[in-house]
Amino acid sequence: MIVRVNENAPGSLCELLIQTATDLGIESRSVQFGDGSVVLGFEGQFDTPVLERTEVDLVLANHRSYMFATREHRTNSIVAVGTVTFGSGTPVLIAGPCVVESREQLLEAALAVKQAGATMLRGGAFKPRTSPYSFQGLGERGLQLLADIREQTGMPVVTEVLEPEQVEVVASHADMLQIGSRNMANTPLLKKAGRTGKPVLLKRGFSATVEEWLLSAEYVIAEGNPNVVLCERGIRGFDPAFRFNLDLNAVPLAKSLTHLPVIVDPSHGTGIRELVAPMAAAATAAGADGLIIESQPHPESAKCDAFQMISPEELAGISQQMHAIAVITNAKESCASQQLDIAELVA
């Protein structure tokens, strides 16, 4: 059972509900959302006059299994990372190298992607490489470089955390913790990341269903951390022509099931530099709240994922296109709600 209480509810009201559930042997959890409302999730149902109080504005006996991630108790939630906001209607562009290689490489890339329109910097310090003989990243030194470059450029940084033992050190340097495709179902990692309270970028496992992905988000939120942004990054297909198949079906589907922002990674989702721009455009048209793209000057000399790396010049074109498409999709939505004709508006 889901119970939502508004921001005016005293803490004692939640305590009362939790105590009632406990007395009945029903487990409960509570999460405070950015708008001040609190959602209580009960692993069972019960009735009490407390549920009639005016501060209780929603009681759902039947709902999806991901109680906190479900769209059944709120529409679009906004996740803030420093000055950047996901889910506010303006798509976010995150860009940077696949892997942090050196101070010079990261600074040059950060300045170039910022100039191209990115507002957040990506870069791996701990890398999940397919081969144990490939460059594994600079580790803590990479984290320090990311933190330094954030100071120089003002851009918040997102970087991957690979194991629960790294969560603390990554959280102390990064503005957002990335949980990668290969770790989407690593529940100890999800829980530990959740407990930091830091925003989490949760990539979809490349063989995970949308429901499994949302349940992974639930692990983070159930720790009291509603600041989760989902990222579709491609699933395994049968055709070796592509590294992965960017599953854009998942974007409108996920957005219809959850209130969390959903962004798209057309770099890993295609694995082919030439496909990044068209799929970035398609992702925005499908309703994505942002894009994460691998880009740095001299893309061909990147130590990791050079074949899908794009130049900052190309990124600038993607940024413009992203904002132009978002204007049209937002206009379409507001036309639908006001019953206006989009053709008249764009004419």
**The one segment of 43-51, 83-91, 175-183, 186-194 that binds ligand PEP by CB under 6 A:** 175-183
Using CB under 5 A as the criterion, what x/- string covers residues 39-78 for binding Mn ion? ----------------------------------------
232 interacts with, out of Mn ion, ligand PEP, none, CB within 5 to 8 A per kind: none
Cross-strand bridge partners of residue 3: 40, 59
Nearest to 30 by CA among 50, 8, 52, 11: 11
Residue 173 binds ligand PEP (CB under 6 A): no
Query: Is the CB of 150 or the CB of 203 nearer to ligand PEP?
Result: 203
**Binding to ligand PEP in span 83-102, by CB under 6 A:** 98
Q: How far is CA 96 from CA 103, 172, 231, 248, in A?
A: 13, 20, 16, 22
Q: How far apart are CA 6 and CA 341, in angstroms?
A: 36
**Binding to ligand PEP in span 247-266, by CB under 6 A:** 265
Q: Within a 13 Å sphere around the CA of 343, how many CA atoms are in the beta-carbon half?
A: 0
Query: Is the CB of 182 or the CB of 195 nearer to ligand PEP?
Result: 182
Query: Is the CB of 119 or the CB of 308 nearer to ligand PEP?
Result: 308
With 0-12 / 13-18 / 19 or more C-beta atoms within 10 angstroms meaning exposed / middle / buried, residue 56 is middle
Residue 273 binds ligand PEP (CB under 6 A): no
Q: How far is the CB of 78 from ligand PEP (least distance, A)?
A: 23
Using CB under 5 A as the criterion, what x/- string covers residues 260-299 for binding Mn ion? ----------------------------------------
Question: The sheet that has 28-32: what strands, in order across it?
Answer: 28-32, 38-42, 2-5, 56-60
Using CB under 6 A as the criterion, what x/- string covers residues 120-149 for binding ligand PEP? ----x---x---------------------
Query: Is the CB of 232 or the CB of 305 nearer to Mn ion?
Result: 305
Cross-strand bridge partners of residue 41: 2, 29
Task: Concatenate the DSSP letters of all residues of 64-110 into one string.
Answer: -S-TTTBTTS-S---EEETTEEESSSSPEEEEE-SB---HHHHHHHH
- What residue ranges bind ligand PEP (CB under 6 A)? 98, 124, 128, 160, 180-182, 203, 233, 265, 268
